[in-house]
Structure 1
Amino acid sequence: MKNILLILAFLGSFATSWAQEKSYIILEGTVGKYPIVMNLHQEDWHIDSDETKTRVWVGDYYYKTQEKPIALGESDRNGNQITLNTWEFEKEEEIETFQGVLENGKFKGTWQKGKTKLDFDLKESNSSDYTPIVHYQAERKVSSGFKNTDYPIEGKFSLDFYLPKDAKLQKELVEQLFSTYTNFDQFSKFQLDSLESDYKEILKEYENEDEMVHFLNFETMHFFAPYLNTKNYLVMNYFGYEYTGGAHGMSWEKYLTYDKQRKQWLEIQDILEVSKAKEINQVLDKVLRKEFNIPNGQLYTEAEVGIFLVDEISYSENFKLSKNGITFCYGLYEMTPYAYGFFELFVPFEDLKPYLKKGFSY
Structure 2
Amino acid sequence: MKKLKQMTCVSLMSVLLSTSFSYANFDKNTNMEKIQNVEIFSLKYKKMNVNDIFNVELKNINENTEFFKSDIRYPYLKIKNKYLENEDFNIKVIENINKIMRNYSVNFKEKIKEDSKDYKKQYEDIFSKSKEKYMKYQYEAYSDYKITYNKNNLISIPMKLYEFTGGAHGMSYLKAFNYDLISGKEIKLRDMFKNDINYKAIIDKYIKQQIQENKDIYFSEEQGFKGISDNQSFYIEEDGIVVYFGLYEIAPYYVGIPKFKLTWDEFGEYLNYNR
Same fold per TM (> 0.5)? yes
Q: Which runs of 5+ in 2 are unaligned?
A: 2-49, 80-90
> Aligned residue for 2:252?
337
For the Cα contact (< 8 Å) 2:62–2:71, is it kept in 1?
yes
Deviation of the 1:227 alpha carbon: 2.7
For the Cα contact (< 8 Å) 2:128–2:134, is it kept in 1?
no
**TM-score, length of structure 2 as denominator length:** 0.59
Give matches, 1:192-341, under 5 Å: 194=114, 197-204=117-124, 205-209=126-130, 212-214=133-135, 216-272=137-193, 279-291=198-210, 294=212, 305-311=215-221, 312-315=225-228, 317-322=232-237, 325-341=240-256
Counterpart-to-counterpart distance in 2, 1:323 and 1:200:
45
- SS of the aligned residue for 2:147 comes to strand
The structure with more strand, counted as a fraction of residues: 1
Tell me which of 97, 114, 122 is aligned to 1:172. 97
- SS of the aligned residue for 1:207 comes to helix
Cα separation, partners in 2 of 1:188 and 1:257, compared to 1, 3 Å: closer
CA RMSD of aligned residues (A): 3.8
For the Cα contact (< 8 Å) 1:133–1:164, is it kept in 2?
yes
Count residues with an aligned counterpart: 207
Give matches, 1:173-192, under 5 Å: 173-175=98-100, 178=103
Deviation of the 1:202 alpha carbon: 3.7
- SS of the aligned residue for 1:288 comes to helix
Letter in 1 for 2:201: Q
Counterpart-to-counterpart distance in 1, 2:155 and 2:131:
48
Which structure is larger by alpha-carbon Rg, 1 or 2? 2
> Aligned residue for 1:55?
none
For the Cα contact (< 8 Å) 2:60–2:73, is it kept in 1?
yes
> Aligned residue for 2:43?
none
Letter in 1 for 2:227: S
Cα separation, partners in 2 of 1:160 and 1:170, compared to 1, 3 Å: farther
Tell me which of 127, 146, 158 is aligned to 2:71. 158
Letter in 2 for 1:308: Y
> Aligned residue for 2:273?
361
Deviation of the 1:176 alpha carbon: 6.4
**TM-score, length of structure 1 as denominator length:** 0.47
TM-superposition CA deviations, 1:230-254 (whole Å, max 9, x none): 2432111222211111111111111
TM-superposition CA deviations, 1:247-305 (whole Å, max 9, x none): 111111111112234443212243347997xx53432343235445x3xxxxxxxx664
> Aligned residue for 1:135?
58
**Structure with bigger RCO (C-alpha 8 Å, 6+ apart):** 2
For the Cα contact (< 8 Å) 2:153–2:180, is it kept in 1?
yes
Q: Which runs of 5+ in 1 are unaligned?
A: 1-63, 65-126, 144-153, 295-302
- SS of the aligned residue for 1:247 comes to coil
For the Cα contact (< 8 Å) 1:280–1:315, is it kept in 2?
no
TM-superposition CA deviations, 1:13-51 (whole Å, max 9, x none): xxxxxxxxxxxxxxxxxxxxxxxxxxxxxxxxxxxxxxx
> Aligned residue for 1:26?
none
- SS of the aligned residue for 1:282 comes to helix
For the Cα contact (< 8 Å) 2:112–2:139, is it kept in 1?
no
Counterpart-to-counterpart distance in 1, 2:214 and 2:200:
22
Deviation of the 1:314 alpha carbon: 2.0
Deviation of the 1:135 alpha carbon: 1.9
- SS of the aligned residue for 1:226 comes to coil
> Aligned residue for 2:19?
none
